[in-house]
């Protein structure tokens, strides 16, 4: 299978599994990725996910030039064929997602990482969007998310030249949260994922929704959204549990209700 899925301790592990092709996406893999993400979204037992790549050479080298790009060209103007719902676009996923970036993270691979909430990179990771060197531009959100995440001048350099940066530079400009030795990558990603499992699940999802949707709104609209979500949470069982646990000086037991 091109996508491997494992569920453990309320964490979903989604592995891009084409190491012989640097985990690049072909059409079948894109559809498998969509199914894995939807399954994670709809599984109430799963609180967060870690996305990584098989092997040590690449997280994901983007779209498979031999298969995916011809597929996209052949089906131009047919988003129902070329764009199944994923974290790129079309899927509202408010559960938090961690990217464990091992090796090359290029093109569509960087777009996967950009659509995650936390990015942990191994020291050998490289980040770039080389699409302009092929005569196209990123098509899975790279032109939009990159300039929203890091300074515009740095995003422009990456997008307009196609040149990659190393993990140290990615950390310096705020593209990744942490850089660790390769052998420590998954433990570091799991540490983030476990931390994301501890707060109230509905509160975490509301915070992500307010942050993501609010970034596309005016300040007043974003504040209104925040207030709506805040007032919704006041009516949940998890709020009562969190409040009572704080008063009683104990750890809360959240149920996501």
Active site residue 168: no
Range list of H helices, the chain = 27-42, 68-74, 79-82, 108-114, 142-149, 152-161, 167-172, 185-197, 201-214, 219-233, 237-247
Q: What is the DSSP letter of 18?
A: -
Tokens of 199: 């707060």
What is the end-to-end Cα distance of the chain in Å, rounded?
35
DSSP string, 102-157: -SEEETHHHHHHHTSSEEEEETT-EEE-GGGGGT----SSHHHHHHHHS-HHHHHH
Q: Is 111 a catalytic residue?
A: yes
Q: Residues 32, 111, 182, 240: which is the catalytic one?
A: 111
The helix (H) or strand (E) run that includes residue 60 is strand 58-60
Nearest C-alpha neighbor of 11 from the set 202, 198, 256, 184: 198
Task: Tell me the β-bridge partners of 180.
Answer: 122
Closest by CA to 102, choosing from 180, 29, 201, 2, is 180
Distance CA 242, CA 240 (A): 6
What does residue 44 show for φ and ψ, rounded to 5 degrees? -65, -20
Catalytic residue among 6, 20, 131, 216: 131
Residues serving a catalytic function are 111, 131
């Amino acid at each position: 299978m091109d996508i491997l899925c494992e569920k453990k301790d309320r964490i979903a592990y989604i592995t891009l599994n084409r190491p012989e092709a640097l985990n690049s996406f072909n059409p079948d893999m894109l559809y498998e990725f969509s199914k894995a993400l939807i399954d994670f979204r709809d599984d109430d037992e799963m609180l967060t996910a870690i996305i990584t790549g098989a092997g040590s050479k690449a997280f994901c080298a983007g779209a498979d030039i031999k298969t995916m790009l011809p597929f996209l060209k052949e089906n131009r103007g047919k988003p129902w064929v070329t764009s199944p719902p994923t974290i790129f676009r079309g899927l509202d996923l408010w559960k938090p997602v961690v990217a464990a970036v091992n090796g090359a993270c290029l093109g569509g691979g960087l777009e996967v990482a950009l659509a995650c909430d936390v990015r942990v990179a191994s020291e050998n990771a490289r980040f770039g969007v080389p699409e302009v060197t092929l005569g196209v531009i990123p098509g899975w959100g790279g032109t939009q998310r990159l300039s929203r995440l890091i300074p515009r001048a740095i995003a422009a350099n990456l997008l307009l030249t196609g040149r990659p940066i190393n993990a140290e530079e990615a950390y310096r400009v705020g593209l990744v949260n942490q850089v660790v030795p390769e052998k420590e990558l998954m433990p570091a990603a799991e540490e983030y994922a476990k931390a994301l499992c501890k707060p109230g699940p509905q509160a975490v999802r509301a915070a992500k929704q307010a942050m993501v949707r609010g970034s596309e709104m005016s300040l007043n609209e974003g504040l209104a959204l925040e207030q709506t979500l805040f007032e919704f949470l006041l009516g949940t069982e998890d709020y009562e549990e969190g409040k009572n646990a704080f008063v009683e000086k104990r750890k809360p037991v959240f149920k996501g209700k």
